[in-house]
Amino acid sequence: MSSQSSGSKWLAGVLVVAIVGLGGVFLYREKQARDAAQPPQPVAAASAALPSTAVHDTALPQHPIGPAGASTAALPALDQSDDAILAGLLALTSDGALKTLLRPEAIVPRMVATIDALPKANVGMNVLPLRTPTGRFQVQSDDGMFVESKKNLDRYDTYMYVADHVNPKAAAAWYKRNYPLFQQAYRDLGTSGYFNDRLIEVIDHLLAAPEPKGTLQLIPAKVGYIYANDTYEQLSAGQKFMIRVGAENEANLKGKLRALREAVVSDRSAEDK
């Protein structure tokens, strides 16, 4: 399909792996071909050191990260944080499944850029924190119309496995300890405000994804397919992903996202519980 499937599994997996999705971002191969003809959107460059102050905004955050989430050890500079971030993420899983999916460069900037883009129409291919699924998107005929083949769900097994094996409370505690890195990467996108507020906003957006009954009809497009129902075709990249993984997976991902949201907004760390 030409519509994007994005980050919820990654979000639930990488930020329930370290913060929808959850989750990871997975795009259709057809969309990859389309993006290849477009100018790339660069990942925000990481600064050499953390800012001397936590924030510069005058408005207070809606969902502050309190002292309980502060790291007891000095954090590395954002552009030197990949090794520590990778080690922390892998510690959240019981085996090496996540390592096979994760792109090991600019991990935090990729996560931040992807999360920020999920409510939008597109997510740049070069900012994805996870590798895309192998194989091609498949369709099948249904009364003369095209619908998504159930075989596509097999492409997401590893991503769902990762999402299912991450403890949301542990992922939230890891995220809170490393929050200054996420906030800096958010600023490096040229944004103002607080990344944690944006994260909660994005999770709520993914939780609001529709839950269609039955299969959705598809129409061949110049590249790939689009939804015949314009209501679904106009959804964001993140919400398209939520409905694309199937009803059962969508329900599981929403459960993970709710648990992650609750843990992130809690003023108590996992170690205190």
- Is the bond preceding residue 257 a cis peptide, omega within 30 degrees? no
Which residues fall within 8 angstroms of residue 64, CB to CB, at 6 or more apart? 194, 196
* Mean pLDDT value across residues 232-248: 89
Can you give the pLDDT at residue 228?
92
- pLDDT class for 235, splitting at 50, 70, 90? very high
Which residues fall within 8 angstroms of residue 234, CB to CB, at 6 or more apart? none
pLDDT, tens digit, 9 for 90 and up, residues 168-191: 888 888 999 999 999 999 999 999
- Average of per-residue pLDDT values in the chain: 76
> Do residues 75 and 81 touch, judged by C-beta distance below 8 A?
yes
Can you say how many angstroms the Cα of residue 7 is from the centroid of all Cα atoms in its chain?
A: 3
Can you give the pLDDT at residue 122?
85
pLDDT, tens digit, 9 for 90 and up, residues 128-172: 888 877 777 788 887 778 888 888 778 778 888 888 888 888 888
In 3D space, the residue among 156, 172, 254 whose CA is nearest the CA of residue 205 turns out to be 254
* Residue 150 tokens, joined: 């159930």
Residue 141 burial (CB < 10 Å; 0-12/13-18/19+)? exposed
State residue 43 phi and psi, 5-degree precision. -70, 140
Can you give the pLDDT at residue 74?
87
* Residue 29 tokens, joined: 């191969």
Tell me the residue length of the chain. Answer: 273
How many Å apart are CA 117 and CA 74, to the nearest integer?
29
Domain borders along the chain are: 14-33+64-134+152-213+237-266
pLDDT, tens digit, 9 for 90 and up, residues 44-63: 444 333 333 344 455 888 99
